[in-house]
């Protein structure tokens, strides 16, 4: 994932791996948190392991006919800014608002001074943003996150959900992590999710969901959202397993697929239920094969959308 902080030393040490639960075991442990899926279906603001900047020449995939980029409207934020959202249809979840935060930005690498600027995340100061990581072959995390986010947006719109993006490849860099949180707050989102891929070492594989810990410092106060964010995390884990068949990360929290952190500005500063999803590890060959496969990315988008809609229907 990569969004700007050094992981705790314990995360950088060699780990003793334990057996990873099977998909069925995880679903059973979570009570399946709604196992249906849509048909057809690093060190940073979230990950572990050092950043690997996106390779020069990598570009954001162009919008396809069903990637959710059509039918956009603009909604004014409280501060007068304009944030792009998609007009919702008349589905069963009409009136619900979801903010999707595609991690990083494909052109962050061209604005290293700007993204290195320190911002306040309540209990610390962190970089505005980072470049994100990439696969060994150079497929950039920022390209991956945008593609999956757009696919998820299409699925959510079919349910009537209004979707707001923090960025859609339309900003020169960023936005900064504090701004990403504020977009969700300003939209009064019913749920928010930040999509990433990790940059840990080879052999570390699988996905995990990060939920906010208790933070009450400076401008951060997560006390009202920790409970619903945990519920959201459970829904995402259950549906992501069911949709993708992927196992929870074998290097985070004993293979449970869940982690809690208090060092991520995107979570600390959120006033709406929010989680981060690390869809897999770009540095591991097995995970990279999935992350670079459009068919798998569609499954990932289905897992994300189904997890969000399950949470919204609760």
Q: Catalytic residues, which ones?
A: 278
Q: At what angle do helices 294-313 and 226-244 cross, to 10 degrees?
A: 140
Token pair listed for 76:
């004014």
Closest CA to 127 of 233, 5, 2, 261: 5
Name residue, tokens 């209990």.
Answer: 123
Q: Which residues of 213-249 are buried (b: 16+ CB within 10 A; e: fewer)?
A: bebeeeebbbeebbebbbbbbbbbbbbbbbbbebbbb
Q: For 270, phi and psi rounded to 5 degrees?
A: -75, 140
The DSSP bridge pattern shows strands 82-86 and 72-76 to be antiparallel
Calculate ∠ Cα 201-204-206, nearest 5°.
135
């Amino acid at each position: 994932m990569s969004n700007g902080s050094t992981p705790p030393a314990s995360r950088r040490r060699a780990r003793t791996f334990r057996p990873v639960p099977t998909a069925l075991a995880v679903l059973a442990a979570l009570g399946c948190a709604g196992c249906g899926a849509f048909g057809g279906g690093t060190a940073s603001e979230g990950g572990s392991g050092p950043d690997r900047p996106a390779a020069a020449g990598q570009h954001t995939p162009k919008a396809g006919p069903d990637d959710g980029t059509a039918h956009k409207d603009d909604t004014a934020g409280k501060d007068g800014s304009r944030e792009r959202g998609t007009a919702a249809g008349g589905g069963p979840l009409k009136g619900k608002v979801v903010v999707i935060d595609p991690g990083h930005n494909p052109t962050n690498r061209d604005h290293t001074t700007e993204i290195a600027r320190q911002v306040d995340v309540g209990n610390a100061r962190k970089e505005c943003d980072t470049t994100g990581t990439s696969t060994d072959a150079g497929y950039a995390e920022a390209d991956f996150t945008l593609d999956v986010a757009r696919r998820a947006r299409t699925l959510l719109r079919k349910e009537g959900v209004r979707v707001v993006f923090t960025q859609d490849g339309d900003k020169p860099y960023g936005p900064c992590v504090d701004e990403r949180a504020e977009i969700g707050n300003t939209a009064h989102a019913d749920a928010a999710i930040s999509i990433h891929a990790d940059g840990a070492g080879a052999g570390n594989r699988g996905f995990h969901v990060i939920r906010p810990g208790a933070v009450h410092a400076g401008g951060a106060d997560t006390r009202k959202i920790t409970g619903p964010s945990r519920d959201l995390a459970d829904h995402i884990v259950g549906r992501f397993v069911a949709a993708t068949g992927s196992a929870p990360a074998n290097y985070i929290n004993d293979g449970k697929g869940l982690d809690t952190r208090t060092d991520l500005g995107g979570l600390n500063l959120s006033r709406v239920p929010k989680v981060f999803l690390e869809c897999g590890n770009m540095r591991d060959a097995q995970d990279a094969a999935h992350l670079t496969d459009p068919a798998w990315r569609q499954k990932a988008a289905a897992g994300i959308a189904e997890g969000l809609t399950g949470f919204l229907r609760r």
